[in-house]
């Protein structure tokens, strides 16, 4: 194991079998060694800084029916809402005054958010706050659509691949969704010029060490600028209601491996990590993450974007409680900065 860890640190690549071996044979001691190496790799590139993003959940309407997701269209109990352009701009105004310099507009796949409408919102945000980055996370769209959003000024796009194993993908999604389309979208985003983020849930139903090894290989080969990983958490109104949640321990272990594969990657300690463990975000940062995404959505809709049970909305998760987040990051030797927090191209 130690040889493998050193090899990963040095070469930033392992075979599929080696990744699988690293996952199957993990223990506390190896996790600590990996985390230490990952944390120093992050320090080498980004120092003690932690980037923050203001997350605005613009719509809980979704035309998709992903089996794991609480806002899937079949969940008739989900309270649907969509924010107006004015509400979104108000979130950004509040976020800017709090010190956020990246706004992430995320939502279900809601046809109401047409290309023209999203472009209008993006250009207004960029016009009002030229020193800010806009990240979109609005699911699968055509290449032409992504290009329009990019030309309107969007800087980054997050689209988790969910799993790099086709068979596994098909067990998590209805038949009208396809693994190939997901991958094609990711390649299109990167080709257009977005800082592109992929990612996956940890502990999703049917996931194995082998499918996780494939995820790591995908990250290694696709070379995303960002990678969002967080534990799967069941939602009571989905077919996966009685499945087990993913663990903080495995999520942190994978965060460390990803940091070593790509030292300059933007790696969030996700809300899901903070939801399954009150110290989850701190543990994620200490394992190599360098981004936190507090919620800027208006108070009256926060509880409605419930993609999994008991999703955190208060405390350091709320953008307005940035001071609490700052203290928590300081307690582990890190510093929240007012910065766009762009991907840094590594000097080799």
DSSP letter string over 23-87? Answer: HHT--HHHHHHHHHHHHHHHHHHHTTEEEE-EEEEEE---S---TT-TT-TT-TTSPP-B--HHH
What track of x and - describes contact with ligand SAM for positions 265 through 304 (by CB under 6 A)? -------x--------------------------------
Q: 291 with 264: CB under 8 angstroms?
A: no
Min separation Cβ 346 and ligand SAM, Å: 26
Strand duo 291-292 + 49-52: pairing: parallel
Give dist(CA 156, CA 230) in Å, integer: 19
Min separation Cβ 190 and ligand SAM, Å: 15
Cα–Cα nearest to 60, from 304, 310, 311? 304
Cα–Cα nearest to 229, from 260, 265, 198? 198
Decide: is 256 part of the binding site for ligand SAM (CB under 6 A): no
Residue 47: CB atoms within 10 Å: 12
Pick 135 or 290: Cβ nearer ligand SAM: 135
* Residue 6 in tokens: 């050193």
Decide: is 159 part of the binding site for ligand SAM (CB under 6 A): yes
Map the footprint of ligand SAM across residues 182-201, applying CB under 6 A.
Answer: 201
Decide: is 139 part of the binding site for ligand SAM (CB under 6 A): yes
Pick 48 or 115: Cβ nearer ligand SAM: 115
Map the footprint of ligand SAM across residues 304-333, applying CB under 6 A.
Answer: 307-308
Beta strand segments in the chain, E: 49-52, 54-59, 102-107, 133-137, 156-158, 195-202, 226-231, 291-292, 335-337
Decide: is 235 part of the binding site for ligand SAM (CB under 6 A): yes
Pick 235 or 283: Cβ nearer ligand SAM: 235
Cα–Cα nearest to 153, from 187, 117, 126, 188? 126
Taking CB under 6 A as the criterion, the residue among 60, 75, 135, 137 binding ligand SAM is 137
Pick 137 or 264: Cβ nearer ligand SAM: 137
Stretch binding ligand SAM (CB under 6 A), from 38-46, 123-131, 231-239, 322-330? 231-239
Taking CB under 6 A as the criterion, the residue among 22, 52, 69, 252 binding ligand SAM is 69
Q: 157 with 196: CB under 8 angstroms?
A: yes
Stretch binding ligand SAM (CB under 6 A), from 104-112, 163-171, 175-183, 260-268? 104-112
Min separation Cβ 135 and ligand SAM, Å: 11
Helix (H) or strand (E) holding 280: helix 280-286
Strand partners, 135: 104, 156
Residues that bind ligand SAM (CB under 6 A): 68-69, 106, 108-109, 137, 139, 159-160, 162, 201, 230, 232-233, 235, 272, 307-308
């Amino acid at each position: 194991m130690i040889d493998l860890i050193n090899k990963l640190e040095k070469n930033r690549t392992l075979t599929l079998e080696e990744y699988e071996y690293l996952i199957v044979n993990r223990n506390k001691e190896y996790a600590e060694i990996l985390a230490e190496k990952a944390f120093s790799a992050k320090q080498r590139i980004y120092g003690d800084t932690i980037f923050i993003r203001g997350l605005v959940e613009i719509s809980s309407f979704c035309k998709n029916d992903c089996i794991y997701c609480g806002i899937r269209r079949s969940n008739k109990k989900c309270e649907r809402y969509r924010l107006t352009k004015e509400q979104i701009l108000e979130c950004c105004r509040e976020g800017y005054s709090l010190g956020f310099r990246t706004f992430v507009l995320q939502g279900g796949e809601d046809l109401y958010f047409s290309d023209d409408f999203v472009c209008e919102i993006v250009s207004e945000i960029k016009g009002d706050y030229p020193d800010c980055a806009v990240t979109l996370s609005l699911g699968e769209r055509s290449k032409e659509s992504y290009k329009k959003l990019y030309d309107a000024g969007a800087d980054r796009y997050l689209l988790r691949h969910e799993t790099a194993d086709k068979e596994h993908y098909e067990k998590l999604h209805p038949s009208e969704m396809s693994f190939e389309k997901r991958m094609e979208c990711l390649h299109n985003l990167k080709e257009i010029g977005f800082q592109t983020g992929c990612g996956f849930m940890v502990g999703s139903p049917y996931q194995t060490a082998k499918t996780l090894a494939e995820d790591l290989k995908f990250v290694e080969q696709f070379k995303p600028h960002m990678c969002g990983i967080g534990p799967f958490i069941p939602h009571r109104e989905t077919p996966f209601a009685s499945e087990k949640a993913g663990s903080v321990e495995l999520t942190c272990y994978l965060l460390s491996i990803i940091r070593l594969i790509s030292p300059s990657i933007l790696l969030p300690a996700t809300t899901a990590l903070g939801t399954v463990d009150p110290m989850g975000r701190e543990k994620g940062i200490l394992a190599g993450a360098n981004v936190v995404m507090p919620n800027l959505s208006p108070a009256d809709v926060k509880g409605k974007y419930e993609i999994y049970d008991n999703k955190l909305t208060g405390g350091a998760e709320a953008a307005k409680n940035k001071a609490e987040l700052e203290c928590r990051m300081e307690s582990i030797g890190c510093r929240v900065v007012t910065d766009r927090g762009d991907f840094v191209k590594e000097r080799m």
